[in-house]
Structures are given as structure tokens and as C-alpha cells.
């Protein structure tokens, strides 16, 4: 029996667990993979207070992990497969065990979207550049996306790659001015707006060609590798990991509908990428995690 179970150990879930633990609650933090969520795969973490110089997703993840340990929070690496949240006593089932709690905080995060190519796995479309420095070096890189996240990764890749094509489906880049200026100033990044990667041929070891459709020009542009080696990265957004919960709480499309952080079930709270909101940043996720813990405290009557 736990006071609070937190499902997911990204920034939102870790924040919720830390604040709940600091208030004296018996907390269980469940994570199916690694602490950090999507942030662990980011090459360079920016725009968050207290960052170290050249903070990467991996160093940020390590800090989260250290905070969990320092706070003596019980962390178990188990995948949650079933949630029964209807009653006052909530039940959380993993592949290994079943747990009970008086309150549950949902922070399952999100998963990167694929490009939708038929052979996406075969050609090895990547969602993270970390650990791939040797493979990136001197290659031609295609980065799908035009957001801040795509810009950060394109800038990181450009330090090693021969050339980076930033391929954005919309007619203009959707990133903040800071990143636009850096992209424009780069001598080996070329932005292709109104464009989409529609096909690619080859294997993960050798992509032989990439076809991009330019909707403004209404033409396909074929890139054949010749002596160059290609890699493709996708940063076109995320889908919320709400499959487990979508039939249990009120939803807003694929996202959980909340009143602040309260779901439609008393004693069940949600934060981070899985909730319906306008701003999706580390700062907002961490704030929501904190709020979840405080609202859970109120619900439990402490």
C-alpha cells in the first residue's frame, strides 16, 4: 500500500515524486525504461533555469536520477500494463507486480512520431543524435521538422555533418527567432520549407536516395548519395502515451482533459506531455508535477 504512485519518470513525474516525498508521503515511482523520458535523447537542453554549460539530455537525466536517489524515493523499473482507478483504492498493475495507492499521478510522457514511410525501420530513421557522433561525421543529414526541437538537433548535427537539410512541411519554420538566426547563420544547414520526405531507399547502413516533395514548387526533388552517406532524423512532434488511460478518464482527443492537473477521476492527477495544454516545455512539465503533488496532498486530507 502506497500513499501515492507516480507513473512515469520524466521531468514531470520526477517533480511530482520529489514534492510528494518531501511532504512525507509513501511514494512509489514506476518507470518502464529509463529516468528522463524524451529529454534523455536531446543533444542539448536549453531554456531551463540552473542548467550546466553544454547540458545534454543524458547529463540532465543523470541529475534527475541522482535527485530520486538523494530523496530516497522508491523507484521500480516496471512497465504498467493496467490501471483500475474507479474506486477510492487505486490499483496499478505492472508486468511483474500489482500495487495499491490512495492517489495516482499520471506522467507517462510521449513518444516521437514517425515519418510514416513504409520502410522506416529498414532505413533506420533516428530520433536522437546522442551516441552517433562517428556515424554523423561527414555525412549528409536530412532532419524532418521545423520546431525548436528540430532546430536544436539540426544545429548539433551541423557541427559534425558535411551538410544538413532541415525539411519542414509548413511554408515557414515554426521555431523561435533565436534558432532561426542560428540556422540562417550556419554555413552547412539548408532549410527546405513547404517540403516533406516522401520516400527513401536503402538500408540503415546505406541509404541510397531520399525523395522530398516540394508542395510550393509542386515537384519532387531526388537526392542520390553517390559518394556521400545519408542519415535521416525525425523531429516532427510526439504522440502522448495515453493508450492505458484513454477509456478511463475524460479525454480531449489523444490527450487527458484536466482541470489544472485534476482528471475526471477523484484522486487521479496528470501532468506533462499527456495532458491537453498549449505549452509543452520542461518548465511547464516540472511545474505541473509539483502541482500534482500538492493537489494529491489536499485530496488525501493532509
- For 248-291, write each residue's pLDDT tens digit: 999 999 999 999 999 999 999 999 999 999 999 999 999 999 99
Q: Is 228 a residue whose pLDDT tops 90? A: no
Q: Is 302 a residue whose pLDDT tops 90? A: no
Residue-averaged pLDDT of the chain: 95
- List the one residue out of 98, 29, 38 whose CA is nearest residue 67: 29
| Full-model pTM | 0.93
Cell numbers standing for residue 112: 516521437
**What average pLDDT does range 214-227 have in this prediction?**
93
Q: Given pLDDT bands bounded at 50, 70 and 90, which one contains residue 130?
A: confident
Amino acid at each position: 500500500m502506497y500513499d501515492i504512485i507516480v507513473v512515469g519518470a520524466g521531468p514531470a513525474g520526477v517533480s511530482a515524486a520529489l514534492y510528494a516525498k518531501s511532504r512525507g508521503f509513501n511514494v512509489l515511482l514506476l518507470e518502464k525504461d529509463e529516468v528522463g523520458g524524451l529529454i534523455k535523447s536531446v543533444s542539448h537542453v536549453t531554456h531551463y533555469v540552473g542548467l550546466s554549460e553544454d547540458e545534454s539530455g543524458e547529463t540532465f537525466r543523470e541529475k534527475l536520477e541522482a535527485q530520486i536517489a538523494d530523496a530516497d524515493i522508491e523507484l521500480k523499473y516496471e512497465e504498467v500494463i493496467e490501471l483500475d482507478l474507479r474506486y477510492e483504492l487505486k490499483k496499478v498493475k505492472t508486468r511483474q507486480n500489482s500495487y495499491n495507492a490512495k492517489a495516482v499521478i499520471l506522467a507517462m510522457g510521449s513518444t516521437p512520431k514517425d515519418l510514416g514511410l513504409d520502410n522506416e525501420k529498414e532505413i533506420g530513421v533516428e530520433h536522437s543524435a546522442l551516441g552517433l557522433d562517428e556515424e554523423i561525421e561527414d555525412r549528409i543529414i536530412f532532419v524532418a521538422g521545423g520546431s525548436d526541437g528540430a532546430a536544436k538537433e539540426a544545429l548539433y548535427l551541423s557541427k559534425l555533418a558535411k551538410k544538413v537539410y532541415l525539411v519542414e512541411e509548413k511554408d515557414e519554420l515554426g521555431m523561435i527567432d533565436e534558432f532561426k538566426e542560428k540556422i540562417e547563420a550556419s554555413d552547412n544547414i539548408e532549410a527546405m520549407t513547404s517540403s516533406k520526405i516522401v520516400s527513401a531507399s536503402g538500408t540503415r547502413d546505406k541509404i541510397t536516395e531520399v525523395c522530398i516533395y516540394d508542395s510550393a514548387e509542386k515537384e519532387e526533388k531526388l537526392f542520390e548519395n553517390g559518394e556521400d552517406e545519408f542519415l535521416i532524423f525525425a523531429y516532427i512532434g510526439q504522440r502522448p502515451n495515453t493508450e492505458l488511460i484513454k477509456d478511463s478518464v475524460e479525454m480531449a482527443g489523444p490527450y487527458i482533459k484536466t482541470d489544472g492537473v485534476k482528471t475526471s477521476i477523484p484522486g487521479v492527477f496528470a501532468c506533462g506531455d499527456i495532458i491537453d495544454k498549449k505549452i509543452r516545455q520542461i518548465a511547464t512539465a516540472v511545474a505541473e508535477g509539483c502541482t500534482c503533488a500538492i493537489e494529491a496532498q489536499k485530496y488525501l486530507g493532509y
